[in-house]
Structure 1
Amino acid sequence: RTEVVTPKIAMAPPPVKEENIGSVQRDFDAMEKDAIVDDINEMWRQMRKRDLLKAAVKGEISKSQYVSQMYKKLTSPIATIGIKDAEATSEDAEAALAAQMEKGWEMRGFGNKYSRTVEIWAFVLKSIIKELRLKKIKDKEEVSQKRKELGDELCTGLLKLGPTFIKLGQLLSTRRDILPIEYIKALERLQDDVPGFSGEKAKKIIEQDFGKPIDQIFKSFDETPIAAASLGQVHKAVLQTGETVAVKIQRQGLENLFKSDLVNLRFIAVILDKLDPKTDGAQRDWVRIYEESARLLYKEIDYINEGQQAERFASNFADTPWIKVPKIYWDTSSKRVLTMEYVPSVKINNIEEIEKRGIDRKKLAQRSADSYLKQLCRYGFFHCDPHPGNVGCDEKEGGRLIYYDFGMMDEFSVDVRKGLVNLIYSIYENDESGLCDALEQMGILAKDSDRVSVERISRFFLGEFQSTLAKNDDSEEAKWINQLTPEEKRKIRAERRAKLGADLLSVGNDVPFKFPPTFTFVFRAFTSLEGIGKGLDAKYDLTRLAVPYLKELLELREGSAVKALVKTYATKLGWRKEDIEALVTQPRQVAYMSKVIKKLERGDLKLRTRTLESERAFERTALVQSTQGKLLVASALLNAGIALTLAAAPVAMTQAAFSAAALYAAQFPLGVLKIRSF
């Protein structure tokens, strides 16, 4: 067994200075402080990976030693600050572990941004490598067991990385379409099973914000939290006036931690923006999506803003008795402390307790869909994070929904809201032209796009949607569809898609669709609602549940029930304004068409045609050349990086060369996949 010897580093890592640790260091004793300093310095040494490469090139260590050392860095447990990997065996030990984790999060906010970057990417690469290893295992039961273990590690790793990544884990816990079920179940614990901080620290934060002792603010205050989340925790208390309240207290050091983490997340967004092939015709701006996410994240740590949003949400649903929003007590609220009415409930995915209380599960599923459609279409002010940790229910009003967290709220502009109403109505009316008009109104479809191709594609998907609706009724078509075998259904879908080949190519080349950042949270919310609905009702189908809402949508679009009724009959009888206008202007249109035909006969009017087969061939040739060019550029930059390393060039130049090489190399496999798709 060959012992791996790490070469001496040319430039010694700078020691962590006392002032860089900040005021948080006073909370640690001398032993803990030394351990944290050692961890930060170790991370700095990991940043000096280029010295390992230099040593390998110069022959100071063998290639096998270099590979072994680098592999060890990537697959070993990530360095942690203020967190000990000990298992809690009692409540005291669990509280101590939670306190250590909280201290680690605070220290990360004051630590070195480079060490934080290493910690994040080491965790990401370690997780990817472990998942790739499972591809070699053929036994499904063994793979499932391994994934359960990896899910626990993933959950623990996100907890160690802190609140920003806990929020990421909460988002991923609703994406059953992209993650295995074993990971989903592990990540679901992040919704409400996040370690809290001590009651003493909570009281200290309250006293700092209000400038007086806790007993002058509350008549009683329970130091044990009733719930803990990524950004704060909730304590039960009693006001001086006697009302029982829930007090939400923010974690310390969040703003500093966000500043560090969002730098890395923005870098990821820039890379995604460069690598996204946009072959689906959608023009996603990943940097804008990041900026929108960052904006909402900073708003979420302002509890004054959250309280105002809660009152606005409550005002919107004041006439809906089956929706409850806790009352806000402003006299005992601040930017880091939010005091609200104490409303106990059952978590909406706790099926056993819901059945025990006799709450109608199907009605809850229907109401969850109805409430969100109203948020989007009627008010344009919607909850971005309706996961089970933020929504509860009780037996009042036959199954009342209780919303708790209003930190992440967003709203549509008037045009987008009106366009969304028209979009949903057009989908159910099977109107492809109206659907495209709605997409233009919402800013999703470019106004100068090829409407003919887009409408043909819309007609195809509307047909698929109508088929889905037909499965749920008792019509002859539904019976015929349900009698088809899976192979026959796939064959029919393949034939329909084959007819769209040229239109899809045209749309893919023109990139007519834009992706507004706000819709990121709408999709996320619908994903969460789908998970909640499926848990409550196995036959949950949002498309079917939205049908009764169409009448309300029509009234909303026309302004009143009377106007909606008149317009419905006018449409059936051909008495719409558009129909009458077409009748009056028909002679003029006939004369115009006669002029156009005469111009065509004289050769004064020329028509431009597109040969999509030739365009497709040219596109493939250009794509092959582009992919080969990127590979050549990556090779040249890699050679330049190695040459700069051997020449002991400045670190910045070497890192720039290697980073650019990695960026171009990453685009090569994407180009190969695009070529194969032609």
Structure 2
Amino acid sequence: MATFKEFLRVAEITVKDKTSGKRMKEIRQILLKHHAMSGLTPEKAVAILEDLGPTYVKIGQIASNRSDLLPKGYCDAFEKLRADVPPMPFDTVIERIEASLDAPWQAAFSSIAKEPLGSASIAQVHKATTHDGTVVAVKVRRPGIAQQMAEDITLMKHLLALAEFSNIAPNGLVLTADDLVSELERTTAEEVDFSIELENLKRFHEEIEDQRGVTSPLPFPEYSSDSMLVMEFVSGTLLDDKSALEAQGKDLAAIGERLAQSYVTQVVDDGFFHADPHPGNIVINDGGIVWIDLGMTGSLTANERAIVSKVFRGVATGDPYALKDALLSLAKADGPVDHSMLLEQMSTMLASYASTDLSDINIGTAFVDVIEILRTQNLTLPPSFTMLARGFLTLEGVLTDIAPSINIVDIVSVHVKKQMKTLSYIEGKAQDLLLNAAESAEAMTTLPTQLSHTLDMLDRGQLKVSMDMDLPRDIKGAIYQVASLLALSLISAGLFVGSSIVCTTPMQPQIFGVPLLGALGYLGAFVLGVYVIVRAVSIRHRQVNDEKIR
């Protein structure tokens, strides 16, 4: 039965839901068109999401990074989703630019190209020139897209609340969908607000500034707003145009090496990385590699980076205990966890890599395998970690195409070892050592007091110990038999001692000069003694012959 809290949640979302019935009708028609009720395949799910529009395309793109929640087949299919749509009319683009500037477009630009560089579900990009001659890319948000996506998300939350209230869907499915919708709400709020991508561009540009031959577009905050982003225009060839790069005489192996080094530096050293490193987001020019489209980034805290390094080491060294401990410090449990089974699954997975050369291990695949194992144990990882796993998987696919001899495991190992030699790492280890020593010393000083208190409680009968032993039925039966024989033996001995005492008295009546009560006691002791002996011999016989003890 639904709880009052669930009822209030439905009521609250219902009040906030201003979505018309027209949208629900559209969704129903699309689902009927693809025969969704007759079964769902990854390919059919992709087609449905594309027809449902930008909000649902974004769900698929997010879901492709959540292999801890969805099967790998669906994640792989959703990864192919692209949000390319017909371009906005140029007049609409100009209106959006002038609304953002709160002035005529000529106040900021001397010219704007009519043909777009790209057109996606959320925004459209045009080439422009500032008055000082700087060539820039202007990213303009589509009108009404933020409101449309917010309404779609509210509709999803409404449907989920109703499903939970009416118990028409399994709890696990509701929790999974709810998790995806919550992440969708967070990421779309960031993607439609270009001021967030502006900060990503600034931070990313600063982080990779020391990387030789690697850069990213420089943002122009003075022209940007939450609905328009102006950044440096990047010329060059996209990495997915391999034939053009070869025609230009580019060394693809050198590009692959530099690309892998850059990505591992972002993850291990900086903790701020490009979360969608597919070839369409990487430009190659005479300056080297240019990372573009920073709408989706991942961030790792110093603690998370240390744990990720432990995960790398656990996979590389084949240590299931280290891998399990590192992952459990990151994961969140959404249900019961079988720790012994989890350890066995980790051991089995690592054993499959044991016969593989270290240079042949695929980090992205290993991470996805780990996430799949955690999903079977009701464990989920932070979105940043799953984004990282999919990022490595995507990047290794790129390297396989352009530089198959490059292996990320080797590069990661070098970075992790280098990180272990830095002053900050040594200081952190020293602090951990001092902290552990202080905690151990404090525990040692309190141990005698705690032991004394425990003994006092035991002496006063205030200490209780409870045990729950789940023993097989045969063992329980044998224990009961032994206990029964021991009890009968004690009774027999008691009767014998008691009868002997009675026989020393002149108690009446007597038989053959012996008190009758004493004689009966001797008889009972004799009968019980014989029974105990016979029963003990019988149990021993059955035990020797592996027969069931009854």
Q: TM-score range by the shorter chain?
A: 0.5 to 0.7
Between the aligned partners of 1:376 and 1:608, the Cα distance in structure 2 is 48
Give the drift of 1:446: 9.6
Give the drift of 1:429: 1.8
Between the aligned partners of 2:37 and 2:176, the Cα distance in structure 1 is 31
Is the aligned partner of 1:162 residue 2:53?
yes
SS in 1 for 2:356: helix
Between the aligned partners of 1:367 and 1:377, the Cα distance in structure 2 is 15
Q: Does the 8 Å contact 1:365/1:540 carry over to 2?
A: no
Q: Does the 8 Å contact 2:127/2:135 carry over to 1?
A: yes
Aligned-residue sequence identity (percent) comes to 23
The equivalences for 1:521-532 within 5 A come to 521-532=387-398
SS in 1 for 2:323: helix
SS in 2 for 1:401: strand
Between the aligned partners of 1:356 and 1:306, the Cα distance in structure 2 is 34
Between the aligned partners of 2:259 and 2:40, the Cα distance in structure 1 is 40
Give the drift of 1:284: 7.0
Between the aligned partners of 2:259 and 2:221, the Cα distance in structure 1 is 29
Give the drift of 1:352: 1.6
Match of 2:347 in 1: 459
Q: Does the 8 Å contact 2:256/2:399 carry over to 1?
A: yes
2:422 to 559, 580, 591: 559
What amino acid maps onto 1:547 in structure 2?
Answer: D
Give the drift of 1:269: 6.4
Match of 2:199 in 1: 308
SS in 2 for 1:220: strand
Q: Does the 8 Å contact 2:219/2:232 carry over to 1?
A: yes
Match of 1:599 in 2: none
Number of residue-to-residue matches in the alignment: 407
Give the drift of 1:452: 4.2
**Structure 1 unmatched runs, 5+:** 1-109, 135-146, 474-503, 568-576, 586-603, 612-678
Between the aligned partners of 1:112 and 1:290, the Cα distance in structure 2 is 17
What amino acid maps onto 1:426 in structure 2?
Answer: G
Give the drift of 1:260: 2.0
Match of 1:275 in 2: 170
Q: Does the 8 Å contact 1:227/1:233 carry over to 2?
A: yes
2:275 to 384, 388, 406: 384
Deviation string, structure 1 residues 463-488 (Cα, Å, up to 9, x no partner): 11233336849xxxxxxxxxxxxxxx
With over 3 angstroms needed to count, the CA separation of the structure-2 counterparts of 1:394 and 1:553, relative to structure 1, is same
Look at both structures and tell me which one has the larger radius of gyration over its CA atoms: 2
Q: Does the 8 Å contact 1:116/1:260 carry over to 2?
A: no
What is the TM-score normalised by the length of structure 2?
Answer: 0.62
Between the aligned partners of 1:414 and 1:458, the Cα distance in structure 2 is 25
Is the aligned partner of 1:410 residue 2:305?
no
Is the aligned partner of 1:372 residue 2:263?
yes
2:189 to 298, 322, 333: 298
Deviation string, structure 1 residues 636-671 (Cα, Å, up to 9, x no partner): xxxxxxxxxxxxxxxxxxxxxxxxxxxxxxxxxxxx
The equivalences for 1:580-591 within 5 A come to none
Is the aligned partner of 1:244 residue 2:135?
yes
Q: Does the 8 Å contact 2:215/2:289 carry over to 1?
A: yes
Match of 1:178 in 2: 73
Match of 1:640 in 2: none
Deviation string, structure 1 residues 158-203 (Cα, Å, up to 9, x no partner): 566432234346568999962699x889x56x36x43211222111
Higher mean C-alpha deviation, range 114-123 or range 246-255: 114-123
Between the aligned partners of 2:40 and 2:299, the Cα distance in structure 1 is 43
Match of 1:319 in 2: 210
Between the aligned partners of 2:330 and 2:284, the Cα distance in structure 1 is 34
Is the aligned partner of 1:118 residue 2:25?
yes
Match of 1:546 in 2: 409
With over 3 angstroms needed to count, the CA separation of the structure-2 counterparts of 1:606 and 1:377, relative to structure 1, is same
2:245 to 354, 361, 367: 354
Between the aligned partners of 2:422 and 2:469, the Cα distance in structure 1 is 44
2:92 to 196, 201, 206: 201
1:432 to 316, 320, 341: 320
With over 3 angstroms needed to count, the CA separation of the structure-2 counterparts of 1:446 and 1:375, relative to structure 1, is farther
Q: Does the 8 Å contact 2:275/2:297 carry over to 1?
A: yes
What amino acid maps onto 1:389 in structure 2?
Answer: G
SS in 2 for 1:330: coil
2:225 to 308, 323, 334: 334
Match of 2:455 in 1: none
Give the drift of 1:289: 3.5
Deviation string, structure 1 residues 601-634 (Cα, Å, up to 9, x no partner): xxx99784688xxxxxxxxxxxxxxxxxxxxxxx
Give the drift of 1:235: 0.9
Between the aligned partners of 2:420 and 2:469, the Cα distance in structure 1 is 39
**Structure 2 unmatched runs, 5+:** 1-16, 362-372, 431-435, 445-464, 473-550
SS in 1 for 2:279: coil
Q: Does the 8 Å contact 1:432/1:459 carry over to 2?
A: yes
What is the TM-score normalised by the length of structure 1?
Answer: 0.51
Q: Does the 8 Å contact 1:292/1:518 carry over to 2?
A: no
Give the drift of 1:371: 3.2
RMSD (Å), alpha carbons: 4.5
Is the aligned partner of 1:393 residue 2:278?
no
